[in-house]
Structure 1
Amino acid sequence: MTGHDHKPGHHPPGADDHPLDEAPAAMEPGLPIVPELPIVPELPIAPEPTTDSLAVRELLLALSVGFTLPGPLPDGVEGHDGLDQVIAAAKEAGLLHSDGSVVGTAQYALLQGTPTGRLRALQRELVDKVLADGRALGDLARDLAKSGLQDSRVAAELERSAEKAVDTDPQLAMDLFAEALLAGGQELTYAARRAQAAAATGDLDAAGRIVDRLLALPEPPDLRLGVDVAAAVWAQRGMLSRSADTYTWLGADRMAGSAPLAAVALIGSGNAAEAEQLLAGSRPAGSPTLLAVALSLTQEGLRRTLGPDPQLALPELIRASDMMNAAGGALPLAETPGALAALCALHSGEPAVAAHVLHAALTAGQGGDVAGPRLFLLQAWSLMQQDNADEARLAINEAVKANHWPLAPRDEFLLAALEVGLARRGSEVHQLVLAWERAREAMMHVSVDLYSLLPWGELMIAAARLRETRRVSHYVAGAWDLLAGLGNPPLWSVPLHWAAVQAALLSESPAELAPHAAALVRASGHSHLASVLAAGGKAWVSVLASRFEASDVEAAARGLAAVGMPWEGARLAGHAAAHAEERRDMVKLLACARDIHPQGSPPGGVPGRGDDGRGEARPQSLSDNAIAVTTAPTGLSAREREVGRLLLAGKTYREIGEAIYISPRTAEHHVARMRRRLGAESRSELMVRLRVALGEGYPPP
């Protein structure tokens, strides 16, 4: 550029600073007038604004609004005779990038300095041009909405995009719906879809508020979807009966494709008769899509769980889960087919099958983000049942971080029961007490339903062990009432009867045990699991009465392991070993316990006698020969080291004996020998020396 004398403080073109980086305090004569823009020394000097300089400004404003090069431009710009020269001048001035986009500072200045009415007129002309050209607005609609333009065409484009995204990306759908409202969209027209998107992200409060306003209208649009969302939100809040009430309010004549969803809610809340009436009175769902087939199989399989042949239910529910995985989407559901199939498998004594179904559902993203935590927690439950505590805790971690929203009350309750179950199986009384306190809080936020019987059974056992039965008695009574209303279906009731048997053993209450043991025997004709559990309960009673045959106990223990209860089987065998009169029976039962619980000894905790309410003893290794005596470098035998660990854990002689299958008197003799070996003059000194001898990590007495 020639013919310009650069004043001090101004950088020539090509210098490090961009020509728009700093505006002078006053406009120099001869430069084009562009409101809010800095000096552009590259344009020709003229005493007044020229036609070309105004054309540059109009071009830059159009491009700042959203027009593009190449492409349709506003009529006033597109019809300019020297458009190519105008574009070249804008680029030469450093205001236009080579790709046709306006320099950021110039764009900001133009948009801020142009009257709003002029901007809106240009934006509407832009919409006219794009639509006249047969193109969709696409992302341009989002930019226009964010800029404040209200135009029904922009709102409609955003609403259509949001509808497409609800099933695959609910968070994007929420954003698009919000932008559609900014663009002038009608709040209630897509309220049900907005609520669906909010619920699918896990934002239950937002979904609930939207659907509340919708269902309060005399003639709400998209009513059936709104009811589906409301029912799903109630279920996640742990109030499934409210989900059922919502469908009852909707009525069979307006149900159509939501009938299978209503059946899940009604059966789960104990009202199978109304579910049958509703299914009979509702219209067919329509074409047999993957989703429709998945929902149909779900309700059919669920109804089979209540009948005399519940073994036929699991394959149907697994197929329903498979179809839902294939269909994709984030339909609002009170319970996903994958979760129902897993629950059916767990209630049938098939935790490995449950884990497989859940893995497939999680891989496919069944139910969307909102369903992830529950699927992970049920996976953790199946792993806990299979005596795999470490993997169960990993699944719990996945559940907690699966969604950026806090866990729904229903899932929080399931998590609390899981923590109680893991602590009980780990035989850490302190951890059990802490987990129990958290569970007491969580249970106050939910009600009992058919799909929560497993956690209620676990809490029933823990309550008996901690002498807190009164805390759960009314919830458990509600569970029995619900099952009675459904005709006491064996598939759902058998695990709860088994939990009641274990609780009665812990409470030393034969009167409470008898009806549940009898129920297991009665159900044996329809349930293999019931026959195994009935044998297990009988074996426990015989062991506690010290009148048992080792072969019968071993058969019962191995039977429990075969139906996905290895921890319970090893516990039975271990306790029987401690009470065996013959050495060969003790060895045989210990070998059985090792076989079915290889990673550690069965918890020595004994339901009934000898358990003073503090619970089972800490598990010890069964890899050591239980009757061998070897000398450790500390001078203590392997048995003495076991006794020492239990002593440091605060166990009494009786608890030590029951933990490692010796008598309390023998435990006392071991402690006396340890005092002599370690040179301890008092019990407190023995504790100090034991902590040193056994290494770090043992609590003080």
Structure 2
Amino acid sequence: MTSDLVAVAEQAALTGELVEAARCADEVLASDAPLPELVRAAHVLAGVHAHRGMLADAAELHAWVAAVAPTCASPAAAVALVGTGREVPTTAPDPARPAPPTLRTGADGLVGKAVRASVQPGGSASALSDLTRAASLLECRAAPVLHDDSPAALGALVALHRGEPDLARTLVDRALVADLGGAPYRRRHLLLRAWADMTGGDLIAARAGLDAANARPEPLHARDELLAVALEAGLVRRAGDTRGLLAVWSRAREAVLRHAMDLWSLLAVGELAVVAGRLGQLGWLAPHLQAGDELLAALGQPVLWAAPWHWCAFLAAVAADDPPSAQRHAAHLAEAAVDPAAQAGSLAAVLARAARTWLHVLAGDVQADEVSAVAASLSDAGLAYDGARLAKEAAVRTSDKKVLATMLGLARGLLAGPATTAEIVAPAADAPPVVVTPSPRPCVLSDREREVAELLLDGLTYREIGDRLFITAKTVEHHVRGMRQRLGSESRTDLFADLRASLAS
């Protein structure tokens, strides 16, 4: 009986067994089952496709349902349709049998309304409100619901793209407490919670959240895999660990290949673009970046989604030392900032000003007051790390020692908080064990020298140490030379042994 097979597919989907759900749903769709059963199977398979990173296939199924059974089309299908740049068909309820206003139908209607609003001028605030209310409705429902995405996850993405990580954190915290959506969404909610922590500057909490998500027993599917590896890359990038980025990049490439580009993956792919720029791998990621550009163009460059995307592309171009691309994306940000939807103080306006100031800094025009103001605005928008990087760039390019000291102090201050990169990043797996031996030449190191010494012993280069501590590579070299002279170390091997002894004292 196909009805039994549909029920098996629905149950498998809700317990996270998406491969089994897809098999059963596809078998029903390939049969001559009654139309109601075909529609149920189509909804299951659409949800599975969304979780497995194939939102375009989910959109095809929703379009088919709207064509053959318009009254069965869900407003929540907008997640897949809008997410892949398609129009949402207008459907009218059956006047003979209007749908009862259940918790699910209410939530579906709010989700569809919110998704459409998110790509409209000035619609991000109402989208966030509707998604919050949709999640609240589903919290009251006894049984979980399989959607193409959960309203809490969508709401977190909207909040993060608005530069409001605290709101994103609140949304997914409620979802985690309520176990909103059940097994298919547990890892996703944890990952978005960790992403909000990372954006908010709490790297320790972000790392703990990522570890908790990775420890989940449910099968890992493409959408969560992409988000997890992008989060890992984001944490390692903020630690200034180039070797760590190289290790993450191989996994990131595989995750990107398994996930088709869609609106809801812009956050993850944007982070990976910055990493690719730093590693000289932007050419490999170019087709995916082009797909993101085309998707946003098809949607009319909605400010909510386009501004953060072009900001990541701008940072990637800066990291790759590609001035023309950086200028092009800065121009896109400037266009977004003058959009009527981008009010003064909005994230789009902040990013446009930051890109303009960054280009001036790269050209050697360092205005300390302007850099300080922009860095502070980036920090207020949940982009403290980017603000610190701008200050570091300004420090490197100024010839004024007073400005240099001010910029380096600003960079360190922006990252001061409950988490530091030294607490997050473990020594590289291939680093030699640190063996503490007595030294005949004890030396009391300053706090800064201890930081430099610890990172030097971990095998980092002067440049990597400078990136980690927000000082120049030349300053690192100066610290190492001073410690070597004071310790009387005759060779690099002696220096390492003496530093180990000094750190142990």
Q: Please state if 1:292 is matched with 2:92.
A: no
What residue identity is the alignment partner of 1:206?
Answer: E
Q: Deviations over 1:267-305 (max 9, x none)?
A: 11111x2x1xx2345648612222211111111111011
Helix, strand or coil at the partner of 2:140: helix
Distance, in Å, in 2 between the alignment partners of 1:423 and 1:654 is: 15
Q: What per-residue deviation string (whole Å, max 9, x for no partner) do you get for residues 89-133 of structure 1?
A: xxxxxxxxxxxxxxxxxxxxxxxxxxxxxxxxxxxxxxxxxxxxx
Contact 1:579 / 1:661 at 8 angstroms: preserved in 2?
no
1:279 alignment counterpart: 90
3-state SS of 2:73 partner: helix
Tell me: CA distance 1:375–1:659, structure 2 relative to 1, closer, same or farther (3 Å): closer
Question: In the TM superposition, what is the alpha-carbon distance from 1:349 to its structure 2 partner?
Answer: 0.8
Query: For residues 79 and 502 of structure 2, what CA distance do their matches in structure 1 show?
Result: 59
Map 1:321-360 to 2 at 5 A: 321-360=135-174
Matched, 1:212 2:26: yes
Aligned pairs for 1:448-487 (under 5 A) are 448-487=261-300
**Is 1:554 aligned to 2:372, yes or no?**
yes
Q: Amino acid of the residue matched to residue 368 of structure 1?
A: G
Find the aligned partners of 1:192 and 1:493 in 2 and give their Cα distance.
39
Asked if the contact 2:412/2:470 (under 8 Å) is kept, the reply is no
| Contact 2:10/2:21 (<8 A) preserved | yes
- Rounded Cα–Cα distance in structure 1 between residues aligned with 2:418 and 2:443: 23
1:378-389 equivalent positions in 2, closer than 5 A = 378-389=192-203
| Residue 591 of structure 1: how far off its partner (Å) | 4.5
Structure 1 residues 141-162: Cα deviation after superposition (integer angstroms, max 9, x where no partner): xxxxxxxxxxxxxxxxxxxxxx
Deviation of 1:661 after TM superposition, in Å, equals 6.2
- Given the two structures, how large is their TM-score scaled by the length of structure 2? 0.88
> Closer, same or farther in 2 for the Cα pair 1:292/1:667, shift >3 Å?
closer
1:223 partnered with 2:38? yes
Distance 1:668 1:415, change over 3 A: closer
Matched, 1:391 2:205: yes
| Whole-angstrom distance in 2 between the partners of 1:393 and 1:652 | 24
Aligned match of 2:483: 674
Instruction: Provide closer, same or farther for how the CA distance between residues 264 and 370 of structure 1 changes in structure 2, counting only shifts above 3 A.
Output: same
1:532 to 329, 350, 366: 350
Which residue of the partner structure matches residue 373 of structure 1? Answer: 187
Which is worse superposed, 314-323 or 373-382?
314-323
Distance 1:287 1:633 in 2: 79
Q: Is the 8 A contact 2:240 2:464 kept in 1?
A: no
User: Residue 320 in 1 paired to residue 134 in 2?
Assistant: yes
DSSP-derived class of the 1:447 partner: coil
Asked whether the equivalents of residues 197 and 205 of structure 2 are also in contact (C-alpha less than 8 Å), the reply is yes
Structure 1 contact 501–516 (Cα < 8 Å) conserved: yes
User: Is the Cα–Cα contact under 8 Å of residues 201 and 417 in structure 2 kept in the other structure?
Assistant: no
Say whether residues 1:439 and 2:252 are aligned partners.
yes
CA contact (8 A) 2:310 2:329 kept: yes
Structure 1 Cα separation of the partners of residues 412 and 471 of structure 2: 17
CA distance in 2, matches of 1:474, 1:542: 29
Q: Percent identity, aligned pairs only?
A: 38
1:465-513: per-residue Cα shift (whole Å, max 9, x none)? Answer: 1111122111111111111111111111111100011011111111111
- Structure 2 CA distance for partners of 1:355 and 1:664, relative to 1, 3 Å: closer
Distance in 1 (alpha carbons) for counterparts of 2:213 and 2:295: 29
The structure showing larger relative contact order (alpha-carbon pairs under 8 Å, at least 6 residues apart) is 2
202-211 or 304-313: which moved more?
Answer: 304-313
Pair 1:522–1:633, CA change in 2 (3 A): farther
- Cα distance, 1:556–1:471 mapped onto 2, change above 3 Å: same
Deviation at 1:662, TM superposition (A): 5.9
Q: Aligned-residue CA RMSD in angstroms?
A: 2.7
Tell me whether 538-547 or 548-557 shows the greater mean CA deviation.
Answer: 538-547
Q: TM-score normalized by structure 1?
A: 0.64
| Corresponding residue of 1:518 | 331
Distance 1:652 1:362 in 2: 41
CA contact (8 A) 2:46 2:58 kept: yes
The 5 A counterparts of 1:236-315 are: 236-271=51-86, 273=87, 275=88, 278-280=89-91, 283=94, 286-311=99-124, 312-315=126-129
**CA-CA distance at 1:338 after TM superposition:** 1.0
Please identify the structure whose Cα radius of gyration is greater.
1
* Distance change in 2, residues 1:653/1:410 (3 Å): closer
Q: CA contact under 8 A between 2:132 and 2:152: conserved in structure 1?
A: yes
CA contact (8 A) 2:77 2:112 kept: no
Structure with the largest fraction of helix? 2
Corresponding pairs, count: 480
Distance in 1, matches of 2:12 and 2:462, equals 57
Gaps of 5+ in 2: 428-440
Q: How far apart, CA to CA, are the structure 1 residues paired with 2:153 and 2:382?
A: 18
Partner Cα separation in structure 2 for residue 251 and residue 665 of structure 1 = 64
Q: Partner of 2:12 in structure 1? A: 198
Q: Residue in 2 aligned with 1:596?
A: 414
Task: Give 1:598 deviation, angstroms.
Answer: 1.2
Aligned to 1:694: 503
Work out the CA distance in 2 between the residues paired with 1:647 and 1:452: 37
Q: Is the alpha carbon distance of 1:665 and 1:492 closer, same or farther for their aligned partners in structure 2, counting shifts above 3 Å?
A: closer
